[in-house]
Amino acid sequence: MSERVGGRSGSAPARPRPRRAAKLKRLGSLAKDRGYLTPGRLNWMKLPMDAKFPIPTRRSVRPGGFTLIEAALVTCIIGFGVVSMMRLLAAGTLSNTEATEITIANALAGNIHELTQLSSKMAFRDPSNSPSAPPPYTFGPEAGETLATYDDVDDFGGPAGAGTTFSPPIDARRQTIPNMTGWSQFIKVENVDQNSLTLVVPNGTSKVVRVTVTVSHRGRALCTSSWLVVDTRSD
């Protein structure tokens, strides 16, 4: 029989259990990675102490705040966005202003259109001219006539057909429109050929005139409108 020392057989050394051996191997690897090994032995107390009171390492600490490049990049992005939005708002405001001006200009041109329509107070040519009188007819305002006494369409053509300007503009009742500083209506009356309406003929020589009104605001033309007026009186 083999000799036993300390209650164990002296023929073979005792081997650790497989589960305990695997645990020791893992602890050894962990201790080696973290530097827990002391000369000749393992510092067993450091493992449980670090597990209960972990010490942050350089890798686990995340620096707070932003870097200078990140802050500059965010500032540039926000700046571009604000500038683009301001330009968009400015473009929208400008478009609304232009649309309002064009609407007003069309209304002012409509006033002249309504004013020059033939009626009991507005004839095609001066009432003093006989319907059977041969051309040329009297063209332009007669001596002493003013806006209040214009009684035929060609009176708005001005002396020698040079045109008439109203600034401030007027309405269809020949009244000056208040608070319209900078606005103007320029009216030009031309005789055109009855058989070719695009052909301009000498003043007072036909029974058709073309009335053209140009509405401007501060020297900038916004609207130009024209229409024909035909003499309905028989010769």
Please report, in tens digits, the pLDDT of each residue of the chain (235 residues total): 444 444 444 555 555 566 766 766 676 666 666 655 554 455 555 556 555 555 555 555 556 677 889 889 999 999 999 999 999 888 888 889 899 999 999 999 999 999 998 887 888 888 776 666 667 788 889 888 999 999 999 999 998 888 999 999 999 999 999 999 999 999 999 999 989 999 999 998 888 999 999 999 999 999 999 999 998 776 5
Would residue 195 count as lying in a domain? yes
Q: Are 229 and 211 in contact (CB under 8 A)?
A: yes
CA–CA separation, 194 and 210 (whole Å) = 11
| Largest distance between two CA atoms of the chain | 165
- pLDDT the model gives residue 59: 57
Which residues lie across from 188 on neighbouring strands? 212
Would residue 54 count as lying in a domain? no
Q: Are 156 and 150 in contact (CB under 8 A)?
A: yes
Tokens of 35: 């530097």
Would residue 157 count as lying in a domain? yes
Would residue 205 count as lying in a domain? yes
Domain encompassing residue 129: 97-230
| Phi and psi, residue 48, nearest 5° | -65, -30
- pLDDT the model gives residue 56: 57
Would residue 50 count as lying in a domain? no
State how far the alpha carbon of 56 is from the alpha carbons of 26, 61, 63, 144, in Å.
21, 7, 13, 104
Count of domains observed in the chain: 1
Q: Are 217 and 180 in contact (CB under 8 A)?
A: no
Would residue 17 count as lying in a domain? no
The number of residues making up the chain comes to 235
Burial class (CB in 10 A: 0-12, 13-18, 19+), 203: buried
Residue 233's CB is within 10 A of a number of other CB atoms, namely 14
Instruction: Return the closest-CA partner of residue 204 out of 138, 133, 123, 134.
Output: 138
Query: Residue written as tokens 């057989």?
Result: 9
Would residue 6 count as lying in a domain? no
Would residue 57 count as lying in a domain? no
- pLDDT the model gives residue 164: 94
